[in-house]
Amino acid sequence: MQPSDFKFPAGFLWGTATSAYQIEGSADVDGRTPSIWDSFARTPGRVENGDTGDVACDSYRRVEEDVALLSELGVKAYRFSISWSRVMPAGRGELNPLGIAYYRRLVDLLHDAGIMPMATLYHWDLPQVLHDEGGWLNRRCAYDFAQYARAMFDALGDRVAVWFTINEPWCASMLSHAMGMHAPGEKDLGNAVTVAHHLLLAHGLAVKEFRRTEQPGRIGMAPNVEWHEPYSCHPDDVAACERGLDWFNRWFIDPIYHGRYPQGLLARYAVLGIHPPVEDGDMAIIGQRTDLLGINYYTGGYTREAIRAMLATPADAFQQIDALRHLQTVNVAGFRKTDIGWDIYADGFYKVLTWLKDEYGNPPLLITENGACDNTEPDATGRVDDALRIEYHRRHVIALDRALRSGCDLRGYTAWSLLDNFEWAHGYSKRFGLVHVDFQTQQRTPKESFRWYQRLIREGGFAV
């Protein structure tokens, strides 16, 4: 390799990520009860082609095979999520020994393969029984989550060194409760703000429990972030970008690092009569010290103020949100899109990482998700030549290298995803895996991106 090549520090945690509902299947076996995603997916019209996670990648039964794939890939870490309703079928109280045994087996296999397990406690699959009591709209849910988290620390903490509390609270609140696109499919911005607060509180309470266990591991949240670059230097465009950053990024990260919500967005919500239900002491709980911040990054763009007209009459939640943000992402000619329609904006990755460093005092960061939808299918010889995915990762890894050189405290990168899987409202129509899955036969076929990533990990970087 030449000095200009990309070389990462020894010990950098290269990995991949998945989540329970997206890969496990076995939805009704061994005592697992439904989550809100089972109910949502089983409701006609909610998910493309009527797909559900009932079988998914059948990973619950093929755990050995999937860990063997991780081994072949050579990853140092694997980020998976725990299905709350599999391990605690009533949402609170008693544990399901069969559910625990599954995750126990997974982490044991990972250890045997020399792979560090990283567990996410909540990747959107709230037990339906808790939703029936109000779910995340109900403050009690945050306390139930802390109890469930504690049970997981006790059951698996000897084998799991890195924990993530909540995956993408923006999606679990806004996309799910304001925009209706994810479970439970509701459309009320005020409720979404309440849900966001309870998710943050749940995070804080779980961190508190974790500290009580005195376990040596590390814990943090895994929000999704975007980058908004002003379309022009017009002050309105610059201001629109700031509002975009408030809405996607600051609302969920400021409370953790600054112990408060961003003032600007608080004020804009207040105009709509929306206030997060903050009780005494909440912000101190949420703002407790964490050990690292997971970052999910997929896209971003050039942003300008554009929707002034809508401000006049915010009617439904969608309009309210646009009114609030009053910004529009303008796709600059030349931005290629992935097969899910998201702009490939690797420069935004670099920018958001350096922004996080400046905004939050250079916290230790671990990239918990980054990846591309590339629907390439096997050719006649069985080869899956997913060139778009390779290009996506290559550009983002270069951005990562730039961020490292700019002083960002980056600890690792987990590519989304190991396997093609259930892509939420898109069902199985969108493929994000390094490994192709034939959902009829469950046959797994490593793609060209798998080979590319394997080489990157082996060499700790790549030649230009």
Residue 156 vs 222, nearer CB to ligand FCB? 222
Contact region with ligand FCB (CB under 6 A), list: 52-60, 167-175, 246-254, 270-278: 167-175
Give the nearer residue to ligand FCB in terms of CB position, either 51 or 168.
168
Q: Give the nearer residue to ligand FCB in terms of CB position, either 24 or 423.
A: 423
Nearest distance from residue 132's CB to ligand FCB, in Å? 24
Residue whose CB is less far from ligand FCB, 19 or 173: 19
305 labelled catalytic: no
Q: Which listed range, 72-80, 94-102, 166-174, 259-267, lies at the site for ligand FCB (CB under 6 A)?
A: 166-174
Instruction: Kindly state the greatest CA–CA separation across the chain.
Output: 63
Quote the tokens at residue 233: 């230097």
Residue found by looking up tokens 């129509």 in the block: 429
Give whichever of 164 and 231 is closer to ligand FCB, judged by the CB atom.
164
Of the residues 432, 450, 453, 462, which one makes contact with ligand FCB according to CB under 6 A: 432
Q: How far is CA 319 from the centre of its chain?
A: 25
Q: Which residue among 167, 191, 299, 338 contacts ligand FCB (CB under 6 A)?
A: 167
Least CB distance from residue 218 to ligand FCB, whole Å?
20
Q: Give the integer Cα–Cα distance in Å for 415 and 49.
A: 27
**For helices 251-258 and 346-360, angle between their N-to-C axes, nearest 10 degrees:** 30
Residues that contact ligand FCB, how many (by CB under 6 A): 12
Within 273-312, the residues that bind ligand FCB by CB under 6 A are 296
Residues 354-393: x/- map of binding to ligand FCB (CB under 6 A)? ---------------x------------------------
Site for ligand FCB in 201-240 (CB under 6 A): 224
Task: Tell me which of 8, 13, 19, 290 binds ligand FCB, using CB under 6 A.
Answer: 19
CB closer to ligand FCB, 222 vs 397 = 222
Can you read off the two tokens belonging to residue 180? 């209706």
94 vs 80: CA distance, rounded Å: 23
Question: How far from the centroid of its chain's Cα atoms is residue 44's Cα?
Answer: 26
168 binds ligand FCB (CB under 6 A): yes
User: Which pair of tokens denotes residue 243?
Assistant: 């509002």
Q: Least distance from C-beta 293 to ligand FCB, angstroms? A: 15
CB of 17 to ligand FCB, least distance (A): 8
Is 48 labeled as catalytic in the residue annotation? Answer: no
- Least separation in angstroms between residue 369's CB and ligand FCB is 6
Binds ligand FCB by CB under 6 A, chosen from 423, 433, 446, 447: 423
Nearer CB in complex with ligand FCB: 336/458: 336
**Range 124-143, binding ligand FCB (CB under 6 A):** none
Q: Does 416 bind ligand FCB (CB under 6 A)?
A: yes
d(C-alpha 265, C-alpha 267), whole Å: 5
Where does this chain touch ligand FCB (CB under 6 A) — which range of 6-14, 232-240, 381-389, 416-424? 416-424
Give me the residues paired with residue 419 across strands. 435
Shortest distance in whole angstroms from residue 10 CB to ligand FCB: 29
The piece of 163-171, 201-209, 231-239, 456-464 that touches ligand FCB (CB under 6 A) is 163-171
Among 168, 209, 226, 423, the active-site one is: 168
The CB-of-432 to ligand FCB minimum distance in angstroms stands at 5
Interface with ligand FCB, residue 173, by CB under 6 A: no
Distance in angstroms (rounded) separating the CA atoms of residues 260 and 100: 36
- The active-site residue out of 209, 226, 305, 369 is 369
Quick one: 85 or 338, whose CB is closer to ligand FCB?
338
Identify which of residues 167 and 290 has a Cβ nearer to ligand FCB in the complex: 167
What secondary structure, in 3-state letters, does the chain show? Answer: CCCCCEECCCCCEEEEECCHHHHCCCCCCCCCCCEHHHHHHCCCCCCHHHCCCCCCCCCCCCHHHHHHHHHHHCCCEEEEECCHHHHCCCCCCCCCHHHHHHHHHHHHHHHHCCCEEEEEEECCCCEHHHHCCCHHHCCHHHHHHHHHHHHHHHHHCCCCCEEEEEECHHHHHHHHHHCCCCCCCCCCHHHHHHHHHHHHHHHHHHHHHHHHHCCCCEEEEECEEEEEEECCCCHHHHHHHHHHHHHHHHHHHHHHHHCCCCHHHHHHHHHCCCCCCCCCCHHHHHCCCCCCEEEEEEEEEEEECCCHHHHCCCCCHHHHHHHHHCCEEECCCCCCECCCCCECCHHHHHHHHHHHHHHHCCCCEEEEECCCCCCCCCCCCCCCCCHHHHHHHHHHHHHHHHHHHCCCCEEEEEEECCECCCCHHHHHHCCCCCEEEECCCCEEEECHHHHHHHHHHHHCEECC
- Contact between 80 and ligand FCB by CB under 6 A: the answer reads no
424 binds ligand FCB (CB under 6 A): yes
Q: Return residues touching ligand FCB (CB under 6 A).
A: 19, 22, 167-168, 171, 224, 296, 369, 416, 423-424, 432
Which of the residues are catalytic? 168, 369
